Amino acid sequence: MSGEMGMFISYLKKKDLKLTDQRKIILDVFLKTERHLSVEDLYNIAKKKDSSIGQATVFRTLKLLREADIAKEVDLGDGKTRYEHKYGHEHHDHLVCLECGRSIEAVDSKIERLQDGLCRKHGFLPQRHKMEIFGICKKCR
């Protein structure tokens, strides 16, 4: 059992929620993908494992995975919410290619430090941030 499955089981127990086959399948599908997939993407993959799974359950389960700190919402500017792995992954920002749509994960500790400084200068208490740089990736140049 992966660390994430254990986390999910604990989270469900804590909240008096139930571990269902659908939830297991959706977490499994989510963990096996490395890209930033939309709910619809994940739904289409999950359907192959259990054709009776409904879209609503996928939406609901991804919300649970977010609450359990297993998944993180990513908004790359197209209309739909995407999800990425959170557990065991450091904070990072995104370089989003306008040509091919892929996104590179990157982080610069100096930027992170300066962001805190910028907040302090404005008397602002930072909790989280989002930095996305849009442009053209190496492969598409």
Residues 10-39 binding DNA (CB under 7 A) are 12-13, 16-23, 38-39
In eight-state DSSP terms, residue 60 is H
Distance CA 95, CA 109 (A): 16
Choose among Zn ion, DNA, a copy of itself, none what residue 100 binds, the Cβ cut-off being 5 to 8 Å by kind. Zn ion
Distance CA 47, CA 131 (A): 33
| Contact between residue 70 and residue 4 where contact means Cβ atoms under 8 Å apart | yes
The residue within the footprint of DNA, chosen from 28, 33, 44, 55 (CB under 7 A), is 55
Is the Cβ of residue 14 or residue 130 nearer to a copy of itself in the bound state? 130
Burial-class residue 128 by CB neighbours within 10 Å (0-12, 13-18, 19+).
exposed
Distance CA 6, CA 74 (A): 23
The answer to whether 105 contacts Mn ion (rule: CB under 5 A) is yes
Nearest distance from C-beta of residue 126 to Zn ion, angstroms? 13
Give residue for tokens 């982080």.
107
Is the Cβ of residue 18 or residue 141 nearer to a copy of itself in the bound state? 141
Nearest distance from C-beta of residue 16 to Mn ion, angstroms? 32
The residue within the footprint of DNA, chosen from 6, 35, 56, 113 (CB under 7 A), is 56
The answer to whether 100 contacts Zn ion (rule: CB under 5 A) is yes
